[in-house]
Amino acid sequence: MTIQFFPTGILAVFTSLLVLFSGSTASEQTTADGAWRQQAQSQCRHLGVLYSQYVDGNQAQSVANLFTETGVLLLGETKIVGREAIKELFVGIQSRKNYTSRHLVSNESVTVKSETQAEGRSEVSVFHYPKGMPESDRGAQAKPVAVAEYVDQYLVSRAGCLISYRKIIPVVVQKHSAVQQSTEQ
């Protein structure tokens, strides 16, 4: 029995053909990874939009559902842990609100750190106007009450993105905002 080895050149061509016909190339993998990262960034940014809409719309359960089951919300020195506790916090706040809020999110950035983690930062300006005010009067009556920074950590998966940690850092807070008045009562 004779064993015959392929010359080096033929082996290189054969290996290249295997890679060519076996599926994705390194370039395709890099493109797919880049597209997945962009999609993850977009999904995480969208959570900021949804958070604002749900808070403004008094939808406590929807706010809580943006967090992981063990998610953390840090408001100044107050630490709220778990989806259920976050929901209860917003139910309490919403039951005392004597105003309508509008959260305007800006300067959003999200960095995907791995296949399961991302980090983000954004700024929010919060405006209040009296509850039940006609839409035509809201612009003139809306009062800026706060500017804050959100520092977020996200759990990322192919199915989507959830907030695992959100720290709200107050930058400017009006002394007598409607929020303070409603929580002092």
Of the candidates 81, 87, 17, the one whose C-alpha atom is nearest the C-alpha of residue 54 is 87
Tell me the β-bridge partners of 123: 106, 149
Please list the residues that pair with 78 across neighbouring strands.
Answer: 75
- For residue 34, give the amino acid letter: G
Q: What is the pLDDT at residue 138?
A: 75
| Bridge partners for 99 per DSSP | 130
**How far, in Å, CA of 176 to CA of 124, rounded?**
19
Question: Which residues are CB-neighbours of 25 under 8 A, at least 6 positions away?
Answer: 19
Q: Each residue of 37-48: pLDDT tens digit?
A: 899 999 999 998
Q: What is the pLDDT of residue 143?
A: 85
- What does the pLDDT read at residue 6? 41
Cβ contact 103:126 at 8 Å: yes
Assigned fold of 26-184: Nuclear Transport Factor 2; Chain: A, (3.10.450)
Average pLDDT, 10 consecutive residues per value, the chain (185 residues): 47 40 46 79 93 96 98 95 98 92 94 95 93 79 91 92 97 67 41
Q: Could you list the beta-strand ranges (E) of the chain.
A: 67-75, 78-81, 99-112, 117-130, 143-157, 160-173
Identify which of 107, 99, 101 has the alpha carbon closest to the alpha carbon of residue 149.
107
DSSP assignments along 111-122, one per residue: EE-SSSEEEEEE
In the chain, domain spans: 26-184
Of all helices (H) and strands (E), which one includes residue 178? helix 178-184
Q: How far apart are CA 107 and CA 94, in angstroms?
A: 27
